[in-house]
Amino acid sequence: MRKTFSLEIFPPKRTAPIETIYRTLDGLRMLQPDFISVTYGAGGSQHAENTLDIANKIQNEYHIPAVAHLPGLHLTKVEVSSILEQFAKAGIKDILALRGDPVENAPLPGDFPYAANLIRFIRGFGGFHITAACYPETHPQAESPAADFRHLKEKVDAGASRLISQLFFDNDAFFRFRDIADALGIDVPIEAGIMPVTNKRQIERMVSICHVRLPPKFVRLLERFGDNPVAMRDAGIAYAVNQIVDLLIGGVSGIHLYTMNNPYVAQEIYNRVVTLIRA
């Protein structure tokens, strides 16, 4: 079965012109990804505009399928309906439906307390393919791994037809997760989310936010190269390439590369694995 290769980008900060992301896309389009997902700021419907603009350009000017992130926690049903109408008008038919993270002082309407609620609503709206997130090392707010799998099954039963994993650095954790998901009847494709770590501050932030485990091999990499920016970049690329090769050998459905808006790193990784992905 052909493997999927996809990319994720995020809109520029409010202080940066949106044109900066188009320069990033110019560097990524040559990788010919199966789709590019665009993240979405949390906290309300006003954040949909940049996501829509960028996804629209990916879909209609770069002619690459776009997947628009949509976190529902701080949105009402009316707001989500309006956003979906805008996506549909732009020809964007793929949504990554998320609960999203709570934002301090932002209203909580209560319409979409969980991703499954949002997925069910989008499915009822009609006309969209729905992707959901999964967590090989368990969602940090889950009561237990078993509860996390229950929630994941609910998302698939609600209408998610593809899963993209949170980043991880231990492939054994991903393979264990996949085996359990399969045993539970979660039979949709699961793409492995890979984030190449190119600087020490980046990994410290990711560990803090995502609570991912760092294998001993990765810890040694940080200790050896963490204070040398160029060496750390190259070592991070090599680690990501090794992860991807091992995942492909293990029969992964696809690779979703968190680009961090860095075309150079994405290109380096893609060039080293393209023949394996496209085999």
Between CA 178 and CA 186 the distance in angstroms is: 9
Fill in the DSSP letter of residue 166.
P
For 40, the token pair is 């979405």
Which residues neighbour 122 within 8 Å (Cβ) at sequence distance 6 or greater? 70, 80, 84, 95, 97, 128, 130, 159
Fill in the DSSP letter of residue 2.
P
Q: What is the dihedral of CA 39, 43, 46, 52, to 10 degrees?
A: 10
Query: Is residue 257 within 8 Å of 8, Cβ to Cβ?
Result: yes
- The rounded Cα 25 to chain-centroid distance in angstroms is 17
- Set 8, 79, 137, 191: catalytic member: 8
Annotation marks residue 8 as catalytic: yes
Residues taking part in catalysis: 8
